[in-house]
């Protein structure tokens, strides 16, 4: 008996190795999606419960909501996409960002 672990992947066929790699990749992606949703929920709870103390802080909340809105727009809705872009430009200009 040895203390060296056996690399089982080396003893499988290529199809089995690819299937295992795909399952591992899928599990990692699902874990990342779950973590992202938890972080988004935490951010949204903070945005709802903490009152903005300045216009720039309120703009951060508005920017988040506008990004959610823009993501839901269809690609054909160029008018509303342009409006969101113009508003982001206004935020940048008024906040002194370049």
What are the angstrom distances between the C-alpha of 40 and each of 3, 36, 58, 64? 44, 6, 18, 11
- What per-residue confidence (pLDDT) applies to 30? 97
**Integer Cα distance of 7 and 20 in angstroms:** 13
Task: Please determine, for residue 84, whether its predicted confidence score (pLDDT) is greater than 90.
Answer: yes
**Integer Cα distance of 36 and 51 in angstroms:** 24
- What per-residue confidence (pLDDT) applies to 2? 73
Mean pLDDT score, 6-12: 68
Joined tokens for residue 45: 């709870």
- What per-residue confidence (pLDDT) applies to 24? 95
What are the angstrom distances between the C-alpha of 48 and each of 42, 61, 72? 10, 9, 21
Task: Please determine, for residue 98, whether its predicted confidence score (pLDDT) is greater than 60.
Answer: no
User: Which pLDDT tens digit goes with each residue over 42-63?
Assistant: 999 999 999 999 988 999 999 9
Residue pair 51/29 in contact (Cβ under 8 Å)? The answer is no
Residue pair 81/73 in contact (Cβ under 8 Å)? The answer is yes
């Amino acid at each position: 008996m040895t203390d060296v672990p056996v690399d089982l992947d080396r003893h499988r066929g290529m199809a089995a190795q690819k299937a295992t790699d795909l399952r591992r990749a899928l599990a990692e992606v699902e874990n990342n999606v779950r973590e992202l949703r938890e972080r988004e929920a935490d951010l949204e709870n903070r945005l709802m419960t903490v009152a903005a103390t300045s216009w720039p802080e309120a703009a951060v909340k508005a920017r988040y909501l506008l990004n959610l809105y823009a993501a839901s727009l269809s690609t054909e809705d160029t008018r509303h996409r342009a409006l969101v872009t113009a508003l982001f430009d206004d935020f940048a200009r008024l906040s002194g960002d370049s």
